Structure 1
Amino acid sequence: MQNFKKMKYFKYIKALKFPVVLALLCSLQSCSDFLEQEPGTQTSIKEQLSDKKGVLTALNGVYYDLRAIHTSPTFAVYSDIQGGNLKFSPTYSDDPNRNGIITVPGDIEPFYSFNDQALDSDLSSFYSNGYKIINEANLIIEFVDGLKDATETEKKQIKAEALTARAYMHFLLSEFYSQNYSYTADASHLGIVYSTKSITNGLQYASRETAANTYAHIIEDLTTAVSFYSDNALLNGPAYSYFNKNNTKALLSRVYLSKNDWQKAYDTANDVISNSGVSLVESSNYVAQWEQPDLPISEILMEFTITKNEEGITGSSLAALFGYTNSTTFQKYVASQDLIDLYEASDIRKQLFLVQPLTTLVNLQPAQLNYYFSKKFQGNPGYVAFRLSEQYLIRAEAALKLNNTDQAKKDINTIRARANATVLNDSENLQDALFLERRKELCFEGHLFFDIVRNHKDVSRNDGCLSENCSLTYPSPKFVLPIPKSNLNLNHNLKQNESY
């Protein structure tokens, strides 16, 4: 992966489009191989994006910012801590009065309690940075057709990646800030602002789309992107670190699933399974592949890979949240017993947990309790965005909704048999079995809470819950976050979510 350096200058823009915070939204920061100029000779956006090199530098910047969002300490744990897959490890301290105390990290405490605040939201930077990424993608889309040193195929490839980034970021924002698609029968409830023009086009104060329109825009961007992709990558690094036709289809199948468009979810997931050229990792190699420190599991379709500088030093990885080094050096997040108890004794996925005894204060007395650190995120792990296992489970769910129970059971059993778990022999409880299979197979990959909401289930957190609100009954306005107050102040047409 090529090295990314922050540019020493920025193009300041004193304009705002949609709910983006006033800042350096068009600065194309954190990119490599770009001109470093003294103040007074700054390059304008038009100049920066006037040739292929500048546009590719900008596209690299989009990926850099996407990686930063996915490895942030709030986004990376949100779905699994809210859904109940995660709990907290005790604090290690040389002070015997503090050693073994378990606390909730301050940067997630409000949303963990389903009590996030619009005035000081834990995820305000996610909201603002999300629209910043969208603005960067829009700039690329607006300038790419004018490139004189790129072929038409190259222009389409660049546009495809930018469209996918735009759609993906809107989809993530909709999951956090809009109720699930079937919250209303016709998806007429509030979605999000869908931005298709950069702020260089002038100041606009857009309103939130309906959920139906939000999804229509996402799908339009993704289907257009799929038609534009070629087989020739333009950026350096592993192919799985960038958007391509296969992982864009994987995203599209996820979007169709969230939209309850069962036939298209089935067809798209089936296309990825059949034609991507990627295969499921075999049972005999499953644990070993997750344990390798620098490479993702081979069934990966896309990973937001951790960057390295010229000396080989890595940036922040998910090990900063899930890592275990020794009995005095370990991170905050571990698996809950709620999750561990779902695995059969024979299930090889149970081997993906590093079991370590740690001193814990129980009734003010120190005790040695076991904690389960995920082996998925030791070493220098990136963020798993899409992998083939999810596509099997998407196809299974879509098949079940289409009354094709044989296919649903076959796909669930493919994942279960690979894990050496007991295969299903009847079709009575396939829906529950599928939900739990997703929870076990995709744990810590950002799915559980959104699976709960999509299936109109209740949140029930038991082991290790340190909140006054350990459960949440569906439906509830607290299944989504508040729009940050700073963004509401900037856009008078932006409507706040209910109860905030």
Structure 2
Amino acid sequence: MLSLQSCSDFLEQEPGTQTSIDELLKNKTGVLQALTGLYSEVDGNVRPEIYSVYADLQGGNIKFTPIATGSLKGQITTPSLIEQAYSFNDVAISSNYKSFYDSSYDIINQANLILEYTPDLTDATIEEKNQIQAQALAIRAYTHFLLSLVYGQDYKYTADASHLGVVYSTESIKSGIQYPIRKTMAETYDLIIADLKNAIDNYSGTTVLAGPEYSFFNQKNTKALLARVYLQKGDWANAYEVANDVITNSGVVLTSKESLISEWVKPDLPISEILLEFTPRKDGEGNVSSSMSQTFGYTTDVSFQKYAASNDLIDLYENTDLRKQLFLVKPLFTLVNGVQTYVDYSFTRKYQDNAGYVAFRLSEMYLIRAEAALETNRADLAMADINIIRARANASLLTNTANLKENIFLERRKELCFEGFLFFDIARMHKDVSRNDGCMATVCSLTYPSLKFVLPIPTFNTNLNPNLQQNDSY
């Protein structure tokens, strides 16, 4: 129950004083305050390294940088925050990802509270209430979707998706303590899709929160999420239709070849093709307290973060590929077999300065449309979409449709690196994990299928809810 009062932006006004839920959410001002706080909670769940490195780290796009200063200078160690999960050996009782699991359901609970109180507002218009509810529905669906990726096997792990998904919560715990069971993955996706369709139908276009449109859920980026869900499900016809809708009707266009690099490296604003970015909040003096650079940033040769690109990723790019310029290559003091030397490390330029968390951008929609076209026997359309992305990057164009599925996988890996896709793509395509450059895990490869493609439900939660079934092998 304490999760109801955990967010300072939501219910707690100052230390030691809490505003009751009924009091806070009785009018539009309170509900909008709650919705603003909810976005901060979502950002605080996906932007820190626990989640933001997960898919790229597990899939092989990331290696670790050496310690910059002090007596251990030059040594490379596995960050303790992710050490167990990195070796595919997370432990339920001390899970590296307990905070992600707990925060996710806290977010869902807060979204449910907003959904429960908004219809009764007397000082908001119907359009405002619809807009608030649409955003809360999108956040609820998005958070359940992320949980399903981390804690459930891919949709086609079983032929009918009858394997375990996640607990899908549609009521706040204010309604009473419940002990729900996990839905099947088929049921989980049905509920995610229903929430997203409901949200899309409810958006009124009314502005309810101050800030740039791309920093909140809206109809076009909710459609982008729906396209991603259909892709993950393998519902190719709907994936194609919705991705095509976003490409054709969103009003967002691909960043040009000429401005690709400059758009990514802007210090404050996101790339122009952004559909949704969880934007860092600034204080009254314009300072940002936290951003993606705290995970991937490089400042000087003695001030840099723990995560750099592996050569497994870097070696995929052709020398002419502009995306190869999206890496800062820096020689850092490193101990190699006890010998002091300098080794080049590649830091992504996507997340320097005040970078926010990129949730959705238009390039992904082209790659979804390409894969969906291939899976519906339209290889020529698939190749055309891949070539749009490759031409923009100044990479060589595909000239035939041989090995197109592998080309799509590799193009997604290159284009969407550090945006949270690789490991989930590997699972979705039933491929094996193969990590080489810089791998320090006790297990560097994983053959599909494996029970270790998912994390354990934290023991605290399975103890709390006797109906919450643990993942096999944990």
In 2 relative to 1, CA 286–39 (structure 1 residues): closer, same or farther, beyond 3 Å? Answer: closer
- Asked if 1:337 is matched to 2:311, the reply is yes
Kindly report which structure 2 residues correspond to 1:335-414, keeping only aligned pairs within 5 A, or say none.
335-414=309-388
- Counterpart of 1:124 in structure 2 is 98
- Asked if 1:150 is matched to 2:124, the reply is yes
Q: Give the residue type in structure 1 aligned to 2:291.
A: S
Segment drifting more, 385-394 vs 322-331: 322-331
Is the 1:28–1:58 contact (alpha carbons within 8 Å) kept by the matching residues of 2?
no
Q: Deviation per CA, 1:440-462, whole angstroms, max 9, x where unpaired?
A: 00000000000000000000000
Kindly report which structure 2 residues correspond to 1:456-495, keeping only aligned pairs within 5 A, or say none.
456-495=430-469
- Asked if 1:59 is matched to 2:59, the reply is no
Q: Deviation per CA, 1:179-232, whole angstroms, max 9, x where unpaired?
A: 000000000001110000001111110000000000000000000000000222
Kindly report which structure 2 residues correspond to 1:97-176, keeping only aligned pairs within 5 A, or say none.
98-176=72-150
Question: Where does structure 1 differ by over 6 angstroms across 4 or more consecutive aligned residues?
Answer: none
Is the 1:71–1:316 contact (alpha carbons within 8 Å) kept by the matching residues of 2?
no
Q: Deviation per CA, 1:141-186, whole angstroms, max 9, x where unpaired?
A: 0011000001111111000000000000000000000000000000
Of 199, 206, 211, 1:225 maps to 199
- CA displacement at 1:35 relative to structure 2: 8.9
Q: Deviation per CA, 1:88-139, whole angstroms, max 9, x where unpaired?
A: 11111243xx221111101110000000000000010100110000000000
- CA displacement at 1:30 relative to structure 2: 3.2
Kindly report which structure 2 residues correspond to 1:408-423, keeping only aligned pairs within 5 A, or say none.
408-423=382-397
Q: Give the residue type in structure 2 aligned to 1:269.
A: A
Of 5, 8, 31, 2:9 maps to 31
CA distance in 1, matches of 2:235, 2:365: 15
CA distance in 2, matches of 1:130, 1:197: 14
- Counterpart of 1:3 in structure 2 is none
TM-score (norm 1): 0.93
Q: Percent sequence identity over matched residues?
A: 58
In 2 relative to 1, CA 35–480 (structure 1 residues): closer, same or farther, beyond 3 Å? Answer: closer
Which ranges in structure 1 are unaligned for 5 or more consecutive residues?
1-12, 14-22
The 3-state SS of whatever aligns with 1:145 is: helix
Is the 1:290–1:376 contact (alpha carbons within 8 Å) kept by the matching residues of 2?
yes
Is the 2:280–2:356 contact (alpha carbons within 8 Å) kept by the matching residues of 1?
yes
CA distance in 2, matches of 1:435, 1:37: 49
Q: Give the residue type in structure 1 aligned to 2:136.
A: A
CA distance in 2, matches of 1:141, 1:43: 18
- Asked if 1:81 is matched to 2:54, the reply is no
- Counterpart of 2:275 in structure 1 is 301
- Counterpart of 1:8 in structure 2 is none
Q: Deviation per CA, 1:333-371, whole angstroms, max 9, x where unpaired?
A: 100000000000000000000011111111211111111
CA distance in 1, matches of 2:293, 2:12: 33
Of 284, 288, 292, 1:318 maps to 292
- CA displacement at 1:318 relative to structure 2: 1.2
Q: Deviation per CA, 1:11-65, whole angstroms, max 9, x where unpaired?
A: xx4xxxxxxxxx2x22272328x9947967x532111111001001111111000
- Counterpart of 1:246 in structure 2 is 220
Q: Deviation per CA, 1:409-434, whole angstroms, max 9, x where unpaired?
A: 01000000000000000001100000
CA distance in 2, matches of 1:127, 1:242: 22
CA distance in 1, matches of 2:352, 2:129: 38
Q: Deviation per CA, 1:379-413, whole angstroms, max 9, x where unpaired?
A: 01100000000000000000000001111001000
Is the 2:6–2:12 contact (alpha carbons within 8 Å) kept by the matching residues of 1?
no
Of 153, 162, 169, 1:179 maps to 153
Q: Give the residue type in structure 2 aligned to 1:329.
A: S
The 3-state SS of whatever aligns with 1:26 is: helix
The 3-state SS of whatever aligns with 1:397 is: helix
CA distance in 1, matches of 2:328, 2:7: 38
- CA displacement at 1:463 relative to structure 2: 0.2
- CA displacement at 1:308 relative to structure 2: 1.1
- Counterpart of 1:216 in structure 2 is 190
Of 208, 221, 233, 1:259 maps to 233
CA distance in 1, matches of 2:43, 2:131: 20
Q: Give the residue type in structure 2 aligned to 1:136.
A: Q
In 2 relative to 1, CA 291–182 (structure 1 residues): closer, same or farther, beyond 3 Å? Answer: same
The 3-state SS of whatever aligns with 1:119 is: helix
Is the 1:317–1:380 contact (alpha carbons within 8 Å) kept by the matching residues of 2?
yes
CA distance in 2, matches of 1:130, 1:391: 25
- Counterpart of 1:17 in structure 2 is none
The 3-state SS of whatever aligns with 1:369 is: strand
CA RMSD of aligned residues (A): 1.3
The 3-state SS of whatever aligns with 2:120 is: coil
In 2 relative to 1, CA 366–236 (structure 1 residues): closer, same or farther, beyond 3 Å? Answer: same
CA distance in 2, matches of 1:103, 1:494: 35
CA distance in 1, matches of 2:422, 2:13: 44
Q: Give the residue type in structure 1 aligned to 2:231.
A: L
Of 466, 470, 473, 1:496 maps to 470
In 2 relative to 1, CA 119–38 (structure 1 residues): closer, same or farther, beyond 3 Å? Answer: closer
CA distance in 2, matches of 1:36, 1:109: 36
Is the 2:367–2:385 contact (alpha carbons within 8 Å) kept by the matching residues of 1?
yes
Kindly report which structure 2 residues correspond to 1:3-42, keeping only aligned pairs within 5 A, or say none.
13=1, 23=2, 25-27=3-5, 29-31=7-9, 36=13, 42=18
CA distance in 2, matches of 1:367, 1:404: 51
- CA displacement at 1:309 relative to structure 2: 1.3
- Counterpart of 1:18 in structure 2 is none
CA distance in 1, matches of 2:208, 2:140: 18
- Counterpart of 1:4 in structure 2 is none
